[in-house]
Structure 1
Amino acid sequence: MATVTQTDARSETFELRRSPSPTRDVLQDNEPPRSSKPSTSQLLKIFSAGFSFFVAGVNDGSIGALVPHIIRDYNVTTAIVSSVYGANFMGWFFGAFSNTHLCQFFDLGSMLTLGAVLQVIAHALRSWKPPFPLFTITFWLASLGQAYQDTHGNTYVSGVRGSHRWLAFIHAMYMAGCLVGPFVATGVASAGSVSRWYLFYTFPLGIGVLNVAFVVYAFWDTLRLKRKQAPTERTLEADESPASRNDDAFSLMKETLKNKNVWLISLFFFFFLGATLTASGWVVEYLVEVRNGDINQMGFVPAGFSGGSLLGRLFLAEPTHRVPNIIAASIAISLLGFFMGPYFATGISVGSKLFNPRVQSTALAFVFVFAQLGGCLFPIITGLIAASAGVSILQPVLCALLVATSVSWLFVPMPKEGDNPTLHQE
């Protein structure tokens, strides 16, 4: 083996620094700039994530249109039908705490496929009008599946170059689902002299099966189990045993919960989703009972909000990325529909920049849990109050939630350049 003295090594280093190779310089000058566009494989994965959000939107957007039929067909009160929102929350809650542990065993494609399969099971159980307790449990299954798919879909897309645009796309797909859901649900529920509203769930069942196939195809390279990491030579020399997967999961959760940015982003989504789901969940019953609207026609109303949000998420993604978030929020967050459209994607984009990549998946899972807590808690509270005071209380409840949403956004810190450099890409 050839050897060099320390002096020679220093000399060689000095010469290399003083006189760089001309050939190397030419290669660097002629090197094509790195493409800012995602690869074909990445685009396929992004579109798969977008379709999974569409399926989730069909499920979430239809419940408001079906609530009047559910109340009358099952002969339950508004307080009892609110239990479906509680089941929703429990699914997201269980998803947040199980996600970190499952990620120690399942790779990305496996987690997304698991989420898609759970939603298919939920829709299959609903499509034959099961007893109300089982019908309620299906919302737990569906939200658990959504928790896995939404968390890992957002995590993957937020790591793609120009992520703010792609996040806007997948969340616009969610609103597209929320737009389509009420039309299909109302059309099915109002067909015939006797409402068979439950047959609507054959539609999300069908697209849910397509979702499973799309996820398997797009994420085939990560559709696998994770192998347990063998002890390295370094750990053996240090007489240390490698941490168990459960220890890793608990340490990630502990690190996540200590991050104040997780709580600040969560507070915003708590009120934001609370306002959104309270409006979409109860507006049809409000129009039927308070405004004496036709039950077969009022189911289309939530589509107006969803359509506005869809356009907002598509066309306002770039402006809200260019304008400082706090300034944009002060103007836009107080308005519904079109101007509220981009803020779910914007919140996820901001959170992705604030969170350390190591805990990003866990952090987003907790953010979604608190979002769903608001999305379940406020519709339940509205339903309980409506049971005694009437659905007319929807207006003051929504006004209060929108004010709280605006105020909570002001507490969200703006990402600094060094927070997560890999995500600050155009």
Structure 2
Amino acid sequence: MRCRHLRPPFPVFVFSFVINGVGIAIQDAQANGYVACLKHSPEIKMGLLHGAYGAGALASPLVATQFAQLRHWSFHYLASLGVAILNTALLTFVFRLKTQDECLASVGEAAGETSTSEHSTFRQILSTKTVHLIAFFILIYVGVEVTIGGWIVTYIIDVRGGGSSSGYVSAGFFGGLMTGRITLFWLNEKIGERRVLYLYSILAIGLELIVWLVPSLIGDAIAVSIVGVLLGPIYPITMNYTGRVLPRWLLTGSIGWIAGFGQAGSAVFPFITGAIASKTGIKALQPLLISMMSFMIVLWALIPGIPRRAD
């Protein structure tokens, strides 16, 4: 009873997540913008940055599952608070509240080009077609990523007859996501970031066809993990590519705009999937994912292939 009285109203709970989302979005834009501005091995560093995301996405559901089995499951939020405090302390210690140009200068990176336009940075971002094409691409990509991670467990249970351990299929997907981001950078460099993304997308579509058409619980679990490996490098590839086709003074703001579309995709497409599944069943998951991945390829083809920056 005592814990029940300590619970805040539900609107406060929702508002706290809004604040949390704003903070994560700002950090996402700043981290990607900073790494994309680096001139020495940005591909590897971007892969490691997003590999850390994959590691967190792998560990989080495993930890949350343990808390869910406890009487006071809400203690999970104390763990999240501890991670947030540690993150804030590390960011303050490493960057010491400096601007991005000051941080780049401290590691020997030149500030680079500056804007000569009379228009504001925000107006320049909104008037750049490439930014919007990449934003819509990331919208679809993150939608695919989160939809697989969230709904594949339901698919495995309802369609393939999986048991209580079906949650590990989602963990395998995020584990593959992390692995792909920290191990496939050599293939990205060998084939070329623009071409290799087509390769990853086509292979992922082929594996989703296997998950859809081959009634094998173990086979589907393996295929989903490999899909994670293939989809993993796409986000860092896109961020690196953004750093090449956009001028540096627009980069961090543009990445913030692009990442914001990605967060929208993480909310919209799982919701759409749930709405469709409530009408036709969760079997609709695989054709929906294949359609989204195919649209990703179309959007990537529309993004300009000639860099606008020489550095």
**TM bucket, shorter chain:** 0.7 to 0.9
My pick for the range that moved more, 392-401 or 302-311, is 392-401
| Equivalent of residue 285 in structure 2, options 394, 400, 411 | 394
Contact 2:36 2:42 in 1 (8 A): yes
Distance 1:133 1:287 in 2: 33
Distance 1:279 1:366 in 2: 24
| Equivalent of residue 167 in structure 2, options 288, 292, 299 | 299
Secondary structure of 2:179's partner?
helix
| Equivalent of residue 18 in structure 2, options 97, 118, 140 | 140
Residue in 2 aligned with 1:379? 270
- 2:232 partner letter: G
Which structure 1 segments of 5+ residues have no match? Answer: 1-127, 225-247
Give matches, 1:154-233, under 5 Å.
Answer: 154-160=32-38, 161-189=40-68, 191-192=69-70, 196-220=72-96, 222=98
Distance 2:275 2:134 in 1: 28
Say if 1:415 and 1:348 are closer, same or farther in 2 by CA, change over 3 A.
farther
1:230-257 deviations in Å (ceiling 9; x for gaps): xxxxxxxxxxxxxxxxxx9x82111111
Say if 1:268 and 1:186 are closer, same or farther in 2 by CA, change over 3 A.
same
- 1:211 partner letter: N
Contact 1:129 1:198 in 2 (8 A): no
Instruction: Provide the identity percentage.
Output: 29
Secondary structure of 2:120's partner?
helix
Distance 2:240 2:253 in 1: 15
Residue in 2 aligned with 1:420? 309
| Equivalent of residue 280 in structure 1, options 138, 149, 173 | 149
Distance 1:387 1:138 in 2: 29
Contact 2:176 2:228 in 1 (8 A): yes
> In terms of Rg, which structure is larger?
1
Distance 1:289 1:138 in 2: 33
Secondary structure of 2:34's partner?
helix
> Which structure dedicates a bigger proportion of its chain to helix?
2
Distance 1:148 1:279 in 2: 25
Distance 2:99 2:276 in 1: 46
Contact 1:175 1:307 in 2 (8 A): yes
Say if 1:179 and 1:135 are closer, same or farther in 2 by CA, change over 3 A.
same
C-alpha deviation, 1:406, in angstroms = 2.2
C-alpha deviation, 1:289, in angstroms = 4.4
Contact 1:186 1:299 in 2 (8 A): no
Q: Work out the number of aligned pairs and report it.
A: 266
Residue in 2 aligned with 1:337? 228
Which structure 2 segments of 5+ residues have no match? Answer: 1-5, 101-117, 205-226
Distance 1:135 1:294 in 2: 32
1:62-100 deviations in Å (ceiling 9; x for gaps): xxxxxxxxxxxxxxxxxxxxxxxxxxxxxxxxxxxxxxx
C-alpha deviation, 1:133, in angstroms = 3.7
C-alpha deviation, 1:291, in angstroms = 4.4
Given the two structures, how large is their TM-score scaled by the length of structure 2?
0.78
1:333-369 deviations in Å (ceiling 9; x for gaps): 2322112111100000000111111111211111112
Residue in 2 aligned with 1:358? 249
My pick for the range that moved more, 377-386 or 340-349, is 377-386
Residue 270 (1) aligns with residue 139 (2): yes
- 1:370 partner letter: F
Distance 2:91 2:123 in 1: 31
Residue in 1 aligned with 2:104? none
Distance 1:310 1:378 in 2: 22
C-alpha deviation, 1:415, in angstroms = 4.3
Say if 1:197 and 1:411 are closer, same or farther in 2 by CA, change over 3 A.
farther
- 1:299 partner letter: G
Contact 1:333 1:340 in 2 (8 A): yes
Secondary structure of 1:202's partner?
helix
Distance 2:169 2:197 in 1: 26
1:146-176 deviations in Å (ceiling 9; x for gaps): 1110101111111222211111110100001
Residue in 1 aligned with 2:184? 316
C-alpha deviation, 1:383, in angstroms = 1.9
My pick for the range that moved more, 363-372 or 284-293, is 284-293
Residue in 2 aligned with 1:405? 296
Say if 1:207 and 1:144 are closer, same or farther in 2 by CA, change over 3 A.
same
1:124-154 deviations in Å (ceiling 9; x for gaps): xxxx865544333333222111111010111
Distance 1:287 1:138 in 2: 32
Distance 1:223 1:348 in 2: 20
Residue in 2 aligned with 1:38? none
Say if 1:202 and 1:284 are closer, same or farther in 2 by CA, change over 3 A.
farther
Residue in 1 aligned with 2:103? none
Distance 2:274 2:16 in 1: 20
Secondary structure of 1:321's partner?
helix
Distance 1:129 1:342 in 2: 40
Distance 2:158 2:14 in 1: 24
Say if 1:328 and 1:150 are closer, same or farther in 2 by CA, change over 3 A.
same
